[in-house]
Each structure stands twice: as structure tokens, then as C-alpha cells.
Structure 1
Amino acid sequence: MHSQGVQNLVSKDMRELQSIAAADKREELDLFSREVIRFGNLCKDPQWHNLGRYFSRLDSDDPSHIQLRSEAEMTMQELATIAQHTAELYHEFSALDRFEQDYRRKLEEARALHLPLRGESITMLQSELKQQRKLVRSLKKKSLWAKNLDEIVEKLVDIVTYIHQAISEAFGDNGVTLVRGEQSKNPQRLGTAGLALHYANMINQIDNIASRPTSLPPNTRDNLYHGLPDSVKKALRSRLQTLDAKEELMVSQVKAEMEKTLHWLVPVASNTNKAHQGFGWVGEWANSSTEFGKSTPSESNLIRLQTLYHADKQKTDAYILELVTWLHQLINLVRHCDHGLKPLPIRSPTRRGLDLHSKMQRMLSVDYSTNKSRRIQLSEEDQNLLDDVIGRMKRVPGISKSQEFAMSKKEGTRTWALSKSTGSSPPRELNARGNLDQPRANSLDIMDGLG
């Protein structure tokens, strides 16, 4: 309830959050008790028929309805162990089926080739098949396979009684009105509108585009735009028209602004996707079961408050609008980097550059004033430097030699390096405004090819 996602999307009122949580628990218990009632009607013993009447009287003060916590926890642990053995039985049934298929295939191949049916490979498969059948028989005795339905329903009734009691002790009457459907004054929630999963997919799309803006499939942005709610589309048009007046930022700054929201919003979207996966049939349930003896991971016990189910649609739309606006700026900046940079403004020459320039001018004047009758003796390094400056003077007239910059290209990214006449400063990159920045080490930018 104190998480940033719940506070920003659902409510900051702790009493309201407690009512929502209590209503969710009561709804979950109602679904569970319906299944127990259905199983009860299938029992041979008539005492387990029409359990709905019994459950409806649990709110009364009848002491016969009191279930001790210790006894209930022992019952739940026992059923959890049986359920785990049932999951293992499902896996071993699948393995047994594969062994039997392999064994039959080997026998058919041996008969077709007129080979003996007691070969080494067939004998090994037969031994493995025998061991697998033995394991399956053992698990049948430990699992629900061999349990009596009346016996299991009796334990489930005790658990329904205890959970109802525990919810009442924890929440009191909180959430009772929400369960009964009295929610007309509440804001529109994504879950009740059937939009939670759609919004989760939008948020994941935004996160994927922001993390790798340089490697987008052609239709990614179009798919995101078409999936936006109408209210966000209308607000986005007017929002984008005002962007030109704002100060242009760098890619790293835009990513940092987006991360302020994405770092708490993306986990909520991921929880929403997990909650909607569910278990379609017993095979999927068994495949998703944890290894026997290990505790269930907390992320598999998600509650609705950890998802977008109770998210206020209006609040969520505002965060989506903000993220899409930042995303527009990010894409524009990436395109700007890919298709060229603004020219660098002319900077004032450095003192070292001025001194070296004056020295070169003196050497040139002495050299050419004597009609090349004599030349100043220069070292090889100075002569190469002088030839380079003379060449630049001819190629770029009207620009101060000490201010001249050499531009190099590397893997599609332009970097500016000072010429030798202005010292040996390391190359620096241009930011989005055309100014020199210190080298930055941003892991996201390096992944995106922006570093």
C-alpha cells in the first residue's frame, strides 16, 4: 500500500486502500467457496450438499463456526503437500508416456529389421520404463489421485471457515460495500473497465522503445499511437505543438526524465501481465508449480493492488501522456544524431593557440620576405605542423587558424577534435544544442549506439 505505484495510480488514502484490499480478499474467497460448494454437491455423503447455506451463516456468532488457526494451518499444509505430489505425478505421467512411445518404437524397428528383441538398447529402455511405472504408482498414493472426494471436501470446508474468519479479524467490515457493488462514487478503474491488460501492453511498448530507440521496427511507433486512448491522442496533439518553445535537451536527460516514471510504472504493468496469464488447465498449473520442498516465490502471489486493476484511468492517462511526450522528444533527438549535427559556434582562441599562431606567422614572414633565399631550419615535427597549417589556410579562408577544428567520423557519429594548433585536448562530443560536452559514460546510450 505504501509503494509508489499504488500511491500514484490508485489512492493515497490508506483507509480507501484497506477497503479495496479487503474487498479483493472477500471476492477471492467467494470464488473459492463456490468451487468448494460445487465439489460438495458431487460428494456421496449428503452432509456436504448445499454448502452455500452453511457458508452464508459464517458471519453469525455461532461458536461451532470458530476454526482454530493452528488446526487450519496444519490442514492447509497437508493439502499443499498433496497438491505438490499431484503436480509431480503429472510430470511423471508425461515422462512415462514418452518412455512407452520410445519402447514401442524400438520394438517395431527391431521387428522390421528382424533383430533380436533382447538387444542392449531395448533392455535399457525396458528397465527405465519399469522404474518410471514404479515412480508413478508411488506418487498416485501420495497425491489427490487416490484421495476420497468427501475427505478432501471436509478439509476445504474447514479452510473456507478459517479464511472467512481471518478476513473479518483483519479488516472488519471494510470492503463489504465494495463487494456488494456499491462503487458508483468511485473513479473509473482500469480493471472494471476491462482495460488493465491493454494499458500494461502500452506501458511495456513505451519502455521497449525508450530503451532502444535506435533499433525500432518500422511499425512500432504506429502501433503504440493507434493503441493510445482517445483522450491521450487529443491532449498529445496540443502538447506537441508547445514543445518547440521549450529548451532542447540531450538524449540522456530525456531518458532520465522518463525513467523517473518508468521505474515504478513498468513493474506494475509486468505484474498485470503475469496476473492475466493464469492457469488454463491442470497441465499449465503443474508446469508452473515450484519444486517440491521450496517455498512459493512472492511474485507468484500477486494481489490486485500490485497490478493495474485498481488504477484510476484518469491518473494513468496523465502518466501515459507524459511518457509519450518525452518519447517524441527522444525519437527526434535520436534522428538528429543519426542525420547530422549542428555546426559548432566559433569559440575564442586559447592563449596557447595564440602564441603558437604568432610563432608560425613570424616564421612565414621571415621565410617569404627573403624571396626564399634562405629558410629557417625547422625540426621534422615543426615542418609537418607548418605544412598542415598552410594547407588549412588555403582550404578554409576567413577562419582563424587557431580556431580551426578537425572533424572526424566514426561509426556514423560525428566527434569534434581540436587541431594540433590548439593543443592536444581529448575529443569531446556535441550535445543536442551543438555545444561541446565532457565525455559521458551512460550504459543505456552505449547500448543504443548513442555513446
Structure 2
Amino acid sequence: MTNLNLSSGFTSGVTTKGNKISILAFEVANTIVKGANLMQSLSKENIRHLKEVVLPSEGVQNLISRDMDELLRIAAADKREELKIFSGEVVRFGNRCKDPQWHNLDRYFEKLGTELTPQKQLKEEAEMVMQQLMTFVQYTAELYHELHALDRFDQDYRRKLQEEDNSNATQRGDSLAILRAELKSQKKHVRNLKKKSLWSKILEEVMEKLVDIIHFLYLEIHQAFGSSDTDKPAKDSQGNHKKLGSAGLALHYANIITQIDTLVSRSSSVPPNTRDALYQGLPPNVKSALRSRLQSFQVKEELTVPQIKAEMEKILQWLVPIAANTTKAHHGFGWVGEWANTGSEVNRKPAGQTDLLRIETLHHADKDKTEAYILELVIWLHHLVSQVRVGNGGIRSPVKSPICSPTQKTGQLFTQKACSSPMLTVEDQQMLRDVSKRKLTPGISKSQEFDSAKTRLSKHHRLSKSSSHSPISESKNDIFSTRRVPSVPVIDFDIDRMKALDVIDRVDTIGSS
């Protein structure tokens, strides 16, 4: 048995008896798992992994900082924040104790920062105590599940009592007897688990162990990070860059990155509404820069779809894992009982593997840097979809092709294959043919523009009585003309580049959004 001594940490003593933890056991278990995760993350193997793998990784270097000292200060500050959360929960439990020595422990914890002398004996005892607490946590996790099972048994039994059916009394009695026996057995199992778990422990006894573990963690963080462990808040090298976590944007930007990755993997069949949803969710700075960047986007030669994907993969290969980590962190454990599924596995993880670190997410990512990478991905995505349409027999990509002569480049827009492609509707093709005459009205929605375009095109429809705009062949079975009508306006991609891009990808409202 250990007892709190405000000057020496682990010492032997006698505990003042208090109340059993009882239903509070699940909250206490939740807190213990947090402490165990923090302790494990400070092991030599995990600190080495942090310094040699995580901090030098491409994502951390590109989005946060390339200054290793700065990154270490950020990582140390994160650990201090974890310890603050852990100790805050312990303070709350202490205030519920009958023994007043456990009250207002926050005052005691504030003084721990001045005691930074490592104690080998303290480390050994802290690890032993945490192992003991985690044994109680595992039994508590089992109790958590078995209590749910007991509740289901009880509901089944009560429902059977109230059930009225056509079976005779003997059969009904047999089924009730079986349910009653199962319920009795489950109650016995739950009672045994309560004795082995935190449920039957005295809160003051657990408080002794938790307080001394906090004392150890204060020293361990300082030992792990040395001079990087400072009370000064970690700042960007320039001191004025906004971070996504503090701005509350980390999860939103992670979702955008995930959407882009999904669209790239499904580039052969991307519904327009899917890309519209992506464009509408883009950050304002990305939206405002997108139009000019699309207009100025140039490549030396027309790239194939695999080549474009390879260019995007250079960013996605390190950006997507960070986005996935961000989503996982926002759905991480925190509610009472979740440790019952994941937390009790903490001591079974291999060396060098620990819980997700905040620095591995978008929390500390620089807002401007992240938006720059998102913008670049959106530009490439636009080019990718255009090239996929070319491969599917759709409209020629607005990027100059090295195999096209100057006359071809500014000449015929629709080939015979493109005009007969099932990828485009009649309205789509007519809207594209009329694009040089179309003038966008500021403030009008895409659907209204589309309706007005159809109205203006109605007199040019192939079924119109106007012979001057009739196709060469008037066969009713021929949905599209197999030859381009000479009077159809031609889009010059060098002059009307942005207009063509807007119509092709249906993003003509991005600039005004």
C-alpha cells in the first residue's frame, strides 16, 4: 500500500478508509487509461520514434516547421497539455474523497514544476503501480460489458413475463425458468467482477497511486525533452502564422483532403455533384485563388491520366495520412466506457508504437501552407478530370497537346466521337456550342444560368423549323449530328480558356462564391 507524501512521492503508510468507488469506476478507469497512454508515450523507445521518425516526416516538415528545436518544443507542450488534462481529472476525483488531504490537489500539482530531480526508484514504483491499476481497469472493462449483458437478460426476462401467447402454462413456465437461471448466473458473474475491478476499491486508495503517478510524469516529461520542455508556449518561427487547431479548422481541412483523395481514386467516374460539393467546401482563400490559378496553369506537355495521378500522389502520400490521423483524433476516446473496447490494450502494444500524437495531425499545421497544398491538388484534380473525359471520348482537354497543329488547336472542338459520346447530354453539348455567346449574369445561380441557356438555345435546337440551324441529316433516329455544323461557334482555348474550363467542369460560380 502506498500513501501520498507531499515531499517524497511513494512512501508506505495507512490509508484513511472512505467510500467504495462504485459506479464512478468507469470514469476512474477512463482516467487511468489516459495516464497509462501518456506514460507509455514517454518511454525511451517512443521518444526515439518521435525524434527519428515523426518529427523528420515529410508531413510534419511541410505543414508545421522544419526547425527541429521548434518541433520538440511543440511536442513537449503537447505532453504537458495531456498531463494537465489527466491531473485535472484526478483533482476532480480527489474532491469527492471523504479524507480532506485529497481535496484541492491542483495547488499541490502547481508546485511539482519546481521539483525536476529524476528518481530511479520513483520510476520503477510508478511503472509497477500503473501495471496494477491497469489490471483493475481490465476487470472493469469486462464488468462494463457484462453489466450491459445483464441488462439485456433482465429485459428479456421481464418481457417474457408480460408476454401473452397461445402456448400452454407448462411450456411458458419452462422458458421462464431458463431465462431466470440465465439471469441468476449473470448476476453472480457481475458480482464477482465487481470484487476484482475498481468498483469495490476505495477511492482514497486509488488516489494515492494516481497522485504519485502524476508526480512521476512531471519528472519524466522533463527528462524526455530536456531544454525543450519549457513553460513558454510553443510558437511558429515567425510568430504570426495561424494554426488549424487553434482556428478550429483541422477537421474541416482533413475532410477536404479526404474528398480529394476519394475523387482521385474514382477519377474514371466522378459525378459533377461530387466535385461541386468539394468546391463549395473549399476555404475562401483557395476559392479566390482558384480561378486565376486555373487560368495560368500550364504544363510542358499533355500528361496522361497515370502521370497526373503520379504528380498528385507526391502530395497525397504524406498529406492523406495526416488527414486520416486528424479524423481519428477527433473521434478518439473520451466518453466513459470507450476504453472498454480500446483502452485496455494499452500495455499490449509493441515497443515504439503509441497512441496518436497531436503533432501527427493537422492541429499544429500552418493554415497558409495547408491551403497552398489543397489549392495545388484541386488544380491537378481539375486537369485530371479533363483528361479522363478525353480518354472516355469526351471533350478534348483544354491543355495544349504537343501533337496538335496550330490550326487543330484553335479549330474544330468536337470530333465525331466526342459529338456522339454518351458522356454528354443534349443540353450539355448545346450549352458548350453556345458558350462563346453566353454571358454570365453576376449573382445568378448555376441552375438559373442553365435554364436561361436552354431558353436561348431553344431556337437553335435540331428540331427547330429554322433551316439555317438544322443539321445536315434530319433522320429521327439520329440523336446527334455526326458532323459539326459549320455555323456552330468554335471555342478558342487560348482566348476563352477560363470560360471553357468553367462550362466543362460546371464551376462557373466558384469565382463569385
TM-score by length of 2: 0.62
Residue type matched to 1:185 in 2?
A: G
The answer as to whether partners of 2:116 and 2:218 remain within 8 angstroms in 1 is no
Query: Which amino acid letter does the alignment assign opposite residue 357 of structure 2?
Result: I
Partner of 2:261: 207
| In structure 2, distance between residues paired with 1:295 and 1:133 | 33
Structure 2 residue 160 is the aligned partner of structure 1 residue 102: no
User: Quick check: 1:225 aligned with 2:225?
Assistant: no
Deviation of 1:86 after TM superposition, in Å, equals 1.4
Q: What residue is the counterpart of 2:288 in the other structure?
A: 234
Code of the aligned partner of 1:46: P
Cα gap change, 1:245/1:33 in structure 2, threshold over 3 Å: closer, same or farther? Answer: closer
The separation in 1 between residues aligned to 2:236 and 2:266, in whole angstroms, is 45
Unaligned runs of 5+ in 1: 347-406, 414-451
Q: Distance in 2 between matches of 1:65 and 1:44?
A: 31
Within 1, Cα distance between the matches of 2:346 and 2:66? 40
CA contact (8 A) 2:141 2:344 kept: no
CA contact (8 A) 2:243 2:365 kept: yes
Does the 8 Å contact 1:72/1:162 carry over to 2? yes
CA distance in 2, matches of 1:10, 1:227: 23
**Distance in 2 between residues matched to 1:129 and 1:290, nearest whole Å:** 27
Partner of 1:162: 216
**Among 240, 245, 248, which residue is 1:191 paired with?**
245
How far did residue 340 of structure 1 move?
A: 4.3
Deviation at 1:332, TM superposition (A): 0.7
Q: Matches of 1:166 and 1:82 in 2, distance apart?
A: 24
Q: Hey, what's the Cα distance between the residues in 1 that align with 2:170 and 2:346?
A: 42
Q: Which amino acid aligns with 2:301?
A: E
| Mapped pair 1:68 → 2:122 | yes
Partner secondary structure for residue 113 of structure 2: coil
Aligned partner of 2:312: which letter? M
In the TM superposition, what is the alpha-carbon distance from 1:162 to its structure 2 partner?
0.4
Aligned counterparts of 2:389 and 2:377: Cα–Cα separation in 1: 18
The 3 A distance-change label for structure 1 pair 237 and 302 is same
Question: Which residue identity does 1:156 align to in structure 2?
Answer: L
Residue-by-residue CA offset, 1:7-66 (whole Å, 9 max, x unaligned):
111112111111000011111111211111121111111111121221122133498999
Task: List aligned pairs for 1:417-428, cutoff 5 A.
Answer: none
How do 1:22-37 residues align onto structure 2 when only pairs under 5 Å count?
22-37=76-91
Question: What amino acid does structure 2 have at the position aligned with 1:211?
Answer: S
For 2:297, the equivalent position in structure 1 comes to 243
Q: Which residues of 2 match residues 135-174 of structure 1 at below 5 A?
A: 135-174=189-228
Residues 259-285 of structure 1 deviation map (CA, whole Å, 9 limit, x = unaligned): 111111111100000111133531444
SS, match of residue 328 in structure 1: helix
Conserved in 2, the CA contact under 8 Å of 1:6 and 1:306? yes
SS of residue paired to 1:190:
coil
Q: Post-superposition shift, 1:67?
A: 6.5
**Aligned partners of 1:306, 1:292: CA distance in 2, in Å?**
19
The offset of 1:213, in angstroms, is 1.7
Looking at structure 2, the residues matched to 116 and 278 of structure 1 have their Cα atoms a distance apart, in angstroms, of 51
Q: SS state of the match for residue 246, structure 2?
A: coil
TM-score by length of 1: 0.70
Q: Which amino acid aligns with 1:325?
A: I
Q: Match for 1:271 among 325, 335, 338?
A: 325
- Of 15, 21, 42 in structure 1, the residue corresponding to residue 69 of structure 2 is 15
Q: 1:138 is matched by which residue type in structure 2?
A: N
Residue aligning to 2:340: 286
- Figure out how many residues of one structure are paired with residues of the other and give that number: 349
Q: Secondary structure at the match of 1:187?
A: coil
CA shift, 1:205, in A, is 0.4
Say if 2:115 and 2:219, in contact at 8 Å, map to a contact too.
Answer: no
Paired residues of 1:20 and 1:175 also in contact (CA < 8 A): no
Q: What is the CA distance between 1:121 and its match in structure 2?
A: 3.6
Q: Structure 2 vs 1, CA of residues 195 and 234 (structure 1 numbering), >3 Å: closer, same or farther?
A: same
User: Which one has the largest radius of gyration?
Assistant: 1
After superposition, the CA RMSD in angstroms is: 3.2
1:130 lines up with 2:184 in the alignment: yes
Cα pair 1:110 1:117 within 8 Å, conserved: no
Q: 1:87 — aligned with what? A: 141
Q: Do the aligned partners of residues 291 and 304 (structure 1) sit closer, same or farther apart at CA in structure 2, a change above 3 Å counting? A: closer
Q: Are the counterparts in 2 of residues 188 and 313 from structure 1 also a CA contact under 8 Å? A: yes
Amino acid in the other structure paired with 1:247: E
Identity of aligned residues (%): 58
- Please name the residue that 1:390 is paired with: none
Distance 2:231 2:133 in 1: 32
> How far did residue 76 of structure 1 move?
1.1
Equivalent residue number for residue 115 of structure 1: 169
Q: Which residue of 1 aligns with 2:105?
A: 51
Q: Separation in 2 of the partners of 1:255 and 1:261?
A: 10
Give the whole-Å Cα distance in 1 for the aligned partners of 2:68 and 2:230: 16
Distance 1:177 1:57, change over 3 A: closer
Q: Deviations over 1:184-241 (max 9, x none)?
A: 8252211111111111001000000000023334422112112212222222211211
